[in-house]
Amino acid sequence: MEIAGYPLRRLRARVTEGIDAPLFALALALAAIGLAALYSASYGNASRVAAQLANLALALAAMWAVAQIPPQTLARLAPPAYAAGIVLLVAVALFGEVVNGARRWLNLDVVRFQPSEMMKIAAPMMLAWYFHRREGSIRLRDFALAGLLLAVPVALVARQPDLGTALLVAAAGFYVIFFAGISWKLLAGLAVLGLACLFPLWSMLHDYQRRRIRTLLDPSTDPLGAGYHIIQSTIAVGSGGIAGKGWLNGSQTHLEFIPERHTDFIFAVYSEEFGLIGNVVLLALYALLIARGLTIAASAPTLFSRLLAGAVTMIFFTYAFVNMGMVAGILPVVGVPLPFISYGGTALMTLFVGIGILMAIHRHRKLVQT
């Protein structure tokens, strides 16, 4: 068979080139679960599912495109991407649109765009690029400088204010620093210092952020306000039981007790309807995805690709853990989506670009290893 004079087999080879089958299958399985939960959360209204399918198609195209880029090119792209991200964040601070009291969006007429989102990838890329250049002679001051490179975007995002994204960007950068070999003693010291900083940090938090932390410690103090989210999502998870109430049968979901059920709290919808069995399946899928990512990092040829693959994989983990922990009531409510499952085009795009990066690193694992 031929299409436009192109043998079908070669066309298929061209399309699947660079696509890592296990990663692809795992991400798609998660996305499929997401569409099912989204359909239930929308009370059987297909329009939101259709919109998410369009987001998914766009994200897959981005993943494929990124998977074709050799890691050396990614490394070259790191400084300009980082610089562009900083410029955009400053632009947001100056001209951004205010939505829900936070200045996060940049309106480019055609699309509204959240520059903080691209920092989740651009910041670890920049740090990996820096350590790669200093390979063989990485000293203490390199870690200090990397910390500075990370602190700038984190501070800009935190000021918007968007604590959730700021923490994720910080975590992404931290993973690079960790994998680059920061000494355990220093790490322990930083941890102690961090705990010591908690107190002054508390005074710097916005009111709504403090309320969220207080609410986590005792949700029942505010049953009609912020605590309502946690109480209701915990009831949803708990009442799901072992086997769940069945797809489209979650009473918590369908009686509108779950807030933000399409986005940050979609796990409550899923967990209520699919129960403990569904949760185990979900945890297993994430664990396999992370294992695959760490394997790719272990066999990556250059320092840059090792650090980036490790950091990207751990970002997936952070997303999943923070979101599920929040819904299950063991972590504070921060605006972190459940990876591949929550509704929203921007987050999906970032995640699949991350998958694309892993694929690109995996595909080029032998090219430079001479």
| Residues near another protein (CB under 8 A) | 43, 45-46, 98-101, 136, 175, 178-179, 181, 224, 232, 234-242, 251-252, 254-257, 271, 275-276, 279-280, 283, 286-287, 290-291, 294, 297-298, 306, 310, 314, 317, 321, 324-325, 328-330
| Residue 118 vs 307, nearer CB to another protein | 307
| Residue 110 vs 224, nearer CB to another protein | 224
User: CA torsion 129→178→321→153, rounded to 10°?
Assistant: -50
Give which of 214, 216, 96 is closest to 161, Cα–Cα.
Answer: 96
For the beta carbon of residue 147, count every other beta carbon within 10 angstroms: 16
| Residue 85 vs 275, nearer CB to another protein | 275
Helices within the chain (DSSP H only): 8-16, 21-41, 46-67, 71-95, 115-133, 140-158, 163-179, 184-204, 207-217, 227-240, 251-254, 266-298, 303-327, 345-363
Q: Which residue has the tokens 């709290």?
A: 265
Shortest distance, position 342 Cβ to another protein, whole Å: 17
| Residue 64 vs 340, nearer CB to another protein | 340
Shortest distance, position 71 Cβ to another protein, whole Å: 16
- Peptide bond before residue 332 is cis, with ω within 30 degrees of 0: no
Shortest distance, position 271 Cβ to another protein, whole Å: 8
| Residue 8 vs 287, nearer CB to another protein | 287
| Residue 46 vs 87, nearer CB to another protein | 46
Phi/psi-derived region of residue 329, left when phi > 0, alpha when psi is between -120 and 50, beta in every other case: left
Q: Are strands 112-113 and 97-99 parallel, antiparallel or unpaired?
A: unpaired
- 191 exposure class (CB count in 10 Å sphere: 0-12, 13-18, 19+): exposed
Shortest distance, position 265 Cβ to another protein, whole Å: 15
Output the CA–CA distances (angstroms, integers) from residue 353 to 64, 132, 144, 169, 350, in the order listed: 9, 21, 28, 15, 5
Shortest distance, position 5 Cβ to another protein, whole Å: 44
| Residue 85 vs 164, nearer CB to another protein | 164
Shortest distance, position 60 Cβ to another protein, whole Å: 25
Residue pair 236/270 in contact by the 8 Å Cβ criterion = no
Shortest distance, position 128 Cβ to another protein, whole Å: 12
